[in-house]
């Protein structure tokens, strides 16, 4: 009788210890992606931070700038080395905990850069000097007589207040020497990353369209659909190249 009770107890313990049947889950994730379906949509498992230099390779960078004509001012101005050097001042760029989020941000940044510079062709805005970018109501960063604050750099920095604030953050006289953004490649890339991390990085979770609205709001709501579509096309292209889905909310 005692032996029978022991046997029953052993069977009971084993029944509890042994795992039940494993139910296959289909989260809708891409093949090879590690994800979980717990009480909701598919979540990518966080990995180690993405290495931006490993993503923005020579091949990736050259794939953009090689499309610029040899006569372009930016052809010998913008370099991957200058970008990587500027990146040291902005370590949070492209290093989200989720790999897809990091790749998404890198694709978005270079989509805007490609459009703003014409594949790294232009160092400053075409006919920019003919446009007025002085906000005379800004007492903190007043315009300097004889200086123009039109678009310069990879994400064309414009307006006196942006030059003033960027200069304070990066370490150049943005109000008295705005031209340096188009003559010093290091400062040029830093100005783009400064603007991105200051104003764009926080909205990227809302979709690519939100980044367009921050960078070029005038193009949204039918203002310039061709320009919006061009940015979206570049973004989709880079997402495909980096192996990340472009997601929803692409336009503004």
d(CA 212, CA 216): 6
Does the annotation count 105 as an active-site position?
no
d(CA 151, CA 127): 10
* Catalytic option among 116, 132, 165, 168: 116
d(CA 153, CA 150): 10
Coil, strand or helix: which one is 212?
helix
With the CA atoms of 50, 53, 119 and 152 taken in that order, what torsion angle do they form, in degrees rounded to the nearest 10? 90
Residue 14's contacts (CB-CB under 8 Å, 6 or more residues apart) are none
Coil, strand or helix: which one is 43?
strand
Q: What are phi and psi of 164, to 5 degrees?
A: -65, -45
d(CA 69, CA 115): 15
> First and final CA of the chain: distance in angstroms?
78
Instruction: Tell me the HSE value of 89 on the side-chain side, using a 13 A CA sphere.
Output: 21
Residues known to be catalytic: 116
């Amino acid at each position: 009788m005692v032996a029978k009770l022991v046997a029953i107890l052993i069977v009971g313990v084993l029944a509890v210890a042994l795992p039940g049947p494993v139910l296959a889950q289909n989260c809708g994730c891409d093949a090879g992606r590690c994800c979980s379906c717990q009480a909701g949509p598919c979540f990518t498992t966080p990995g180690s931070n993405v290495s931006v230099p490993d993503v923005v390779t020579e091949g990736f960078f050259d794939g953009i700038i090689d499309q610029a004509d040899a006569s372009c001012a930016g052809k010998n101005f913008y370099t991957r080395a200058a970008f990587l050097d500027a990146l040291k001042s902005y370590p949070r760029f492209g290093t989200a905990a989720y790999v897809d989020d990091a790749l998404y941000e890198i694709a978005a940044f270079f989509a805007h850069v490609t459009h703003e510079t014409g594949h790294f062709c232009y160092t400053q805005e075409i006919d920019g000097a003919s446009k007025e970018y002085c906000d005379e109501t800004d007492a903190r960063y007043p315009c300097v007589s004889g200086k123009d604050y039109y678009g310069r750099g990879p994400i064309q920095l414009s307006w006196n207040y942006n030059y003033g604030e960027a200069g304070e953050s990066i370490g150049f006289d943005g109000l008295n020497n705005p031209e340096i953004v188009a003559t010093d490649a290091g400062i040029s890339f830093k100005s783009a990353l400064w603007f991105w991390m200051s104003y764009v990085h926080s909205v990227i979770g809302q979709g690519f369209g939100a980044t367009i609205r921050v960078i070029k709001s005038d193009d949204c709501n039918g203002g310039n659909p061709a320009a919006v579509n061009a940015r979206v096309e570049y973004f989709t292209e880079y997402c495909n190249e980096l192996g990340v889905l472009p997601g929803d909310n692409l336009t503004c």
